[in-house]
Structure 1
Amino acid sequence: MFSQRRLGVALYFLLLSLQYVVCIVDPISLTIGAGVGLGAWFGGFGVLKDQTYCRWSECCNERSIKGDIGELRRTLTEKLYGQHIVIQQLISALEAHINPHSSSRKPLVMSFHGTPGTGKNYVADMIAEALYEKGVNSRFIHKYRGRLDFSIDNDVNKYNYRIYSDVTKGINDCPLSLFIFDEVDKMPQGVFESLTSLVDYNGLPDNLSGSKAIFIFISNTAGVQISHQLAKMLKNGAMRENIKLSAFEQVLEKVSYNIEGGLKKAGLIEKHVIDHYLPFLPLEKQHVLKCIAAEFKKWGRDPKEGVIESLLQDVITYDREHGLFATSGCKTIEKKVATEVWIN
């Protein structure tokens, strides 16, 4: 009995010491892809870590970073309405980026543009849920909001230092980290200058490899221009589902560079380190109808006759210039449907 107790105590302290070590020495070499193994880390130690500490804690490994692009494709197809360009481009970009055979030497950098309620943050959350086992709660996701984190024009130098520090620490912690900058149009000009060199080719210090990191910028910038371009094409007889990215990409880059906000005159644009400018098209009535139906489905309810049409009248205000697009998209649908469910 005595010897068994001593053995148990010894094993307990051994496990504690292993946890301490792996917290400090977290491997930063990462090879990941859907259905592809990570390979050995530090010889047998990586296997030991996976079977001990990482069984209970989130680690930069295959268990915690699932990289399930198939899940993302299904979720986008089922739950994102009116954004065929985003679905096509996003899936291809992410598949190529996390592929273990990719030879890219820089992070994946994407900029999401569109009017409110078109799904920009919704898609960013979908990406997080598909890539990480803990989804939006993963410690490998770093999210910033313009109004909250970078609101004072005179503090640009401080913000640049913070971004530089956060990004280098985040990538050191895990190469496949996700950095999301929301409300970029509300940030002061110049806030991303320290980031430019970090996301460029071989731009990280201390031999860090950031080629598997992902950066997403989210903005309402160019939403008006997207609406104008789409309305023009629809009125000329184009089918919405046949419209290509090429109809918007140069407009998004030009407007982002010239309009007030975090990307104005930014080195990120001048040095062409943003890989994809993705337009989130304004939503039409047919898309808002799908949003309403999806919300009722979440509650397990079939709406009574006339309820959806009544909700449409409450939530849809069409843009004044074209009379085609819902000005708030699906932004207020969730709360409106929830209220309707509880009333009835």
Structure 2
Amino acid sequence: MRYAQVFYISIYLLAVSFKDVLCIVDPVSLSIGAGVGLGALYGFNFMKDQTYCRVTECCNERSIPGNIGNLRDMLQKRLYGQHIVKQQLISALEAHFNPRISSRKPLVMSFHGTPGTGKNFVAEMIAEALYEKGTKSRFVHKYMGRLDFSVEKNVHIYNQRIYRDVVEGITECPRSLFIFDEVDKMPPGVFESLASLVDYNALPNKLDGSKAIFIFLSNLAGVQISDQLAKMLKNGELRENIKLSAFEQILEKASYNLDGGLKKAGLIEQHVIDHYIPFLPLEKKHVYQCTSAEFMKWERYPHKQVIEAMLQEVITYDRAHGLFSTSGCKTIEKKVATEVWIEKQSV
């Protein structure tokens, strides 16, 4: 594979060199040389797409299909209790990928909610739908707060790393995806270099970052989301009718004021974050749906009473309202796998 890459790069360099030589000859050769060079470059790109890029990942439509329709189907079938996420996320991505809309900046989204509500799950589905190799794509860059950016005294080092990684990532592929998980576990100031990079036309060397996507995942404002939702439900509003507008300002203020990587961040001050998306706390019916879906993966279809009995052991409710599962669907996958294994051993 390395030999193939060297071969096609050699063709490209030969084409460029040939163009440069022709351009020195005379004014007439200038146009001829440019035409030959562009033709050679086009031929190189076509040849690369038809050969090398068929066996390895490239920054093209084959490796990055951007299948929003597939994402819509996945969200509909596999995500429970998050109607706001489904509405806002699909609209944001469709607008971002629409060739008729000339955006001047990357798409930047911040996901907020308590554990088990689906933030990581949705981020993985986005990667799965947009990239042929999903989260294993070399154009998908993921960082963990507690692993990558945990020491406050190293903030300046983290800023340098983020700056370098983003510039190199977008240089390699303008359609890169950057996911920052556990933002609430990061020290303040970690994203200051990023604030300028994702602003309008702020990348160095005239790089075009407008096609990139940045996603921040955080437990920040989870309590505030729960309080707001409980208040609205108790006032008689239907969960499915509640709009994003009920949470946006709450999320922005909490992100800016609470401890974490976004505290007093330039990303917020410069209004670089396009969408603050709340992941609502899950009620019992949603955890039931998660549990049923997990059993179906094992081709098991237990009676309703079996799932009910399991949920009595699994679900604990928040003390403030007594309405929402404290862990959402976070532990369901392993619980179901254990139940299935026990069942197999008893046969």
Q: TM-score, normalised by structure 1?
A: 0.90
- For 1:326-341, list aligned pairs within 5 A: 326-341=325-340
- For 1:62-211, list aligned pairs within 5 A: 62-211=61-210
For residues 2 and 325 of structure 2, the distance between their equivalents in structure 1, rounded to whole angstroms, comes to 61
For residues 146 and 290 of structure 2, the distance between their equivalents in structure 1, rounded to whole angstroms, comes to 27
Q: 1:23–1:316: structure 2 CA closer, same or farther, 3 Å change rule? A: farther
For residues 231 and 17 of structure 1, the distance between their equivalents in structure 2, rounded to whole angstroms, comes to 60
Amino acid of the structure 2 residue aligned with 1:18? F
Q: Choose from 1, 4, 7 the match for 1:18.
A: 7
Are 1:73 and 1:91, in contact at CA under 8 Å, matched by a contact in 2?
Answer: yes
Per-residue deviation, residues 123-163 of structure 1 (Å, max 9, x unmatched): 00000000000011100000000000001000000000000
- Aligned residue for 1:67, secondary structure, equals coil
Gaps of 5+ in 2: 15-38
For residues 86 and 41 of structure 1, the distance between their equivalents in structure 2, rounded to whole angstroms, comes to 46
Gaps of 5+ in 1: 1-11, 26-39
Are 1:118 and 1:282, in contact at CA under 8 Å, matched by a contact in 2?
Answer: yes
For residues 215 and 40 of structure 2, the distance between their equivalents in structure 1, rounded to whole angstroms, comes to 29
Amino acid of the structure 2 residue aligned with 1:274? I
Counterpart for residue 31 of structure 2: none
Q: TM-score, normalised by structure 2?
A: 0.89
For residues 203 and 152 of structure 2, the distance between their equivalents in structure 1, rounded to whole angstroms, comes to 26
Which has more helix, going by share of residues? 2
Q: Which has the larger radius of gyration?
A: 2
For residues 187 and 207 of structure 2, the distance between their equivalents in structure 1, rounded to whole angstroms, comes to 28
Shift of 1:100: 1.7
For residues 13 and 309 of structure 1, the distance between their equivalents in structure 2, rounded to whole angstroms, comes to 55
Aligned residues: 319
Are 2:150 and 2:187, in contact at CA under 8 Å, matched by a contact in 1?
Answer: yes
For residues 270 and 56 of structure 1, the distance between their equivalents in structure 2, rounded to whole angstroms, comes to 44
Counterpart for residue 271 of structure 1: 270
Residues 1:58 and 2:47 aligned together: no
Amino acid of the structure 1 residue aligned with 2:191? F
Q: Give structure 1 regions of 4+ aligned residues with deviation exceeding 2 angstroms.
A: 12-25
Amino acid of the structure 2 residue aligned with 1:89? Q
Are 2:112 and 2:218, in contact at CA under 8 Å, matched by a contact in 1?
Answer: yes
For residues 162 and 279 of structure 1, the distance between their equivalents in structure 2, rounded to whole angstroms, comes to 29
Counterpart for residue 309 of structure 1: 308
- Aligned residue for 1:306, secondary structure, equals helix
Are 1:18 and 1:53, in contact at CA under 8 Å, matched by a contact in 2?
Answer: no
Counterpart for residue 23 of structure 2: none
What's the % identity of the aligned pairs? 72
Per-residue deviation, residues 6-61 of structure 1 (Å, max 9, x unmatched): xxxxxx99946434449999xxxxxxxxxxxxxx9942221111011101110000
Task: Provide the aligned C-alpha RMSD in A.
Answer: 1.9
- Aligned residue for 1:329, secondary structure, equals coil
Per-residue deviation, residues 147-181 of structure 1 (Å, max 9, x unmatched): 00001000000000000000000000000000000
Q: 1:206–1:316: structure 2 CA closer, same or farther, 3 Å change rule? A: same
Shift of 1:249: 0.1
